[in-house]
Amino acid sequence: MTRSVRHFIAGKAVEGRSGRFGDVFNPNTGEVQARVDLASAAEVDAAVRIAVQAQSKWAQVNPQRRARVMFAFKGLLEKHMDELAHLLSSEHGKVLADSRGDIQRGLEVIEFACGIPHLLKGDYTEGAGPGIDVYSMRQPLGVVAGITPFNFPAMIPMWMFGVAIACGNAFILKPSEKDPSVPVRLAELMMEAGLPDGVLNVVHGDKEAVDAILTHPDIKAVSFVGSSDIAHYVYTTGAAHGKRVQAMGGAKNHGVVLPDADMDQVVKDLVGSAFGSAGERCMALPVAVAVGKNTADALIERLLPEIRTLKVGVSTDPDAHYGPVVTAQHRDKIKSYIRLGEEEGADLVVDGREFALQGFENGFFIGPSLFDKVTPQMRSYQEEIFGPVLQIMRAETLDEAAALPSNHQYGNGVAIFTRNGRAAREFASKVNVGMVGVNVPIPVPVAYHSFGGWKRSAFGDTNQHGVEGVKFFTKIKTVTARWPDGDVGDQSFIIPTMR
């Protein structure tokens, strides 16, 4: 019997009333394993009303006690790591090691949120004028929302709700309907950690639910991660309705390889970052730019045997390097980009389109593909493929290579591989991209820094998590105070009593 994935509102599972459902597949077999409720605008409104009531009380809980909930939640994440990883892999398709990494990177943001008492401390100036003191405080916005993608169903929700809730907000989470079960389980564990009912609510849905979130007057801020076209829509629609919005979009990350790089390490880094998690990562490295006359040929010579060692398998296979992609539609889209690259004149060195896993022929599998002699004019280069496809480009100089990511429509991440410190320093300073790795292929910042790209990779002025996340989910209030001289008389009516 196909199981049902319900909304999670006011601390319990709530059956949908819209009469609309989405299929949740097992990517390993191609079978439908669950149906997820899709919310109507009225159901989103009901969740928001509950969140409004819960937030007013949660905001009065002091930061130290809010931090204790985060500490307890961290412990529960560690206790349930294997359970969560298997659940995640069963719906997404990524191998268990990647699923554990997904959860771990989210857990690190929860660890950061445990320091919220320090992070919410304001500034104070004594004697800003004669008898005048000035101080500032950070206060929660109220009810905020997160709209998250399928590719990191644990990490990205925790990036958002961990910081937002620690700051005193209530949170409405609209996860991807493709793999919705882990976000619900995270909400259950938050309740077990001591979070009051209604502070974290999970509402499943499609565009109807998204639009209801973006236009609801009681939602003060929206955080989003997804494709750039949808990110732009989320940003413009939310901002038009008076909301604070951060919307992270797509990517086409480049790895610039200089002739002096450690080629053996570069090959391992490229294979892991281009093909790991089936390339379904906005911080994957799908483009390698080889600098110099012989660099590309030397790189491909080393890449080919490494690619041949890759094992594509079911998500529970401990020896598999990556598993299936999330849906049949996405697999077919990746194949269409490979066909497009061929038509555009790129050299298809390795073709993964015909891969099939014995015994799992109906699964959403695709093998690794490698292109050489890709040029900037090709649409297969200009657009995000989001699959296990690595494209090799050739440049004569570092300036020519750096111009490729700098001029691309996306500006999420970039990496440079070299032993030359001066070249790396200059590259990192000048390249027009938001996150840079130096001999680091996937430069995702640690939780106490922040994540965010440039250009069409991000809309809004504030990055995800870290101190930037605290700023996004709070508003600053500044108080200027002066106290009169002299006897103020009976003060008993203003002295608080301890309770």
Residues 294 and 314 in one domain: yes
Residue 341, domain CATH: 3.40.309.10
β-strands 3-5, 124-129: how paired? unpaired
Residues 218 and 308 in one domain: no
Establish if 486 belongs to a structural domain: no
Residues 54 and 91 in one domain: yes
Given a cut of 70, whether residue 436 has pLDDT beyond it is yes
pLDDT tens figures, 68-96: 999 999 999 999 999 999 999 999 999 99
Establish if 484 belongs to a structural domain: no
Give Cα separations from 254 to 184, 280, 393, 457 (angstroms). 35, 15, 10, 14
Establish if 206 belongs to a structural domain: yes
* d(C-alpha 271, C-alpha 264), whole Å: 11
From the centroid of its chain, how far is CA 250?
Answer: 11
pLDDT at 489: 59
pLDDT tens figures, 248-300: 999 999 999 999 999 999 999 999 999 999 999 999 999 999 999 999 999 99
Establish if 446 belongs to a structural domain: no
* Cβ 390 vs Cβ 369: under 8 Å: yes
pLDDT tens figures, 128-160: 999 999 999 999 999 999 999 999 999 999 999
Residues 231 and 260 in one domain: no
Q: Which helix or strand (DSSP H or E) is residue 353 part of?
A: none
Which residue's structure tokens are 């002739």? 259
The amino acid sitting at 369 is S
What's the domain range around 37?
3-249+457-479
Residues 233 and 277 in one domain: no
pLDDT tens figures, 374-433: 999 999 999 999 999 999 999 999 999 999 999 999 999 999 999 999 999 999 999 999
pLDDT at 496: 60
Exposure of 161 in the CB half-sphere (CA atoms within 13 A): 31
pLDDT band at 490 (very low <50, low <70, confident <90, very high): low
Establish if 443 belongs to a structural domain: no
Q: Which of 210, 282, 320, 401 is catalytic?
A: 282
Residue 282 designated active-site: yes
Sheet of strand 31-37: strand arrangement: 3-5, 31-37, 21-26
Establish if 383 belongs to a structural domain: yes
pLDDT at 483: 87
Task: Note the pTM of the prediction, 2 decimals.
Answer: 0.94
Task: Retrieve residue 391's tokens.
Answer: 């494209």
Establish if 497 belongs to a structural domain: no
Residues 425 and 333 in one domain: yes
Residues 427 and 333 in one domain: yes
Residues 239 and 263 in one domain: no
The percentage of the chain sitting over the pLDDT mark of 70, rounded to a whole number, equals: 97
Residue 146, domain CATH: 3.40.605.10
* Cβ 98 vs Cβ 322: under 8 Å: yes
Exposure of 324 in the CB half-sphere (CA atoms within 13 A): 31
pLDDT at 149: 97
pLDDT at 484: 83
Residues 168 and 258 in one domain: no
Residues 241 and 323 in one domain: no
pLDDT tens figures, 295-316: 999 999 999 999 999 999 999 9
Residues 156 and 189 in one domain: yes
Establish if 118 belongs to a structural domain: yes
Which residue's structure tokens are 């209030």? 477
Residues 427 and 473 in one domain: no
Number of domain units in the chain: 2
pLDDT band at 493 (very low <50, low <70, confident <90, very high): low
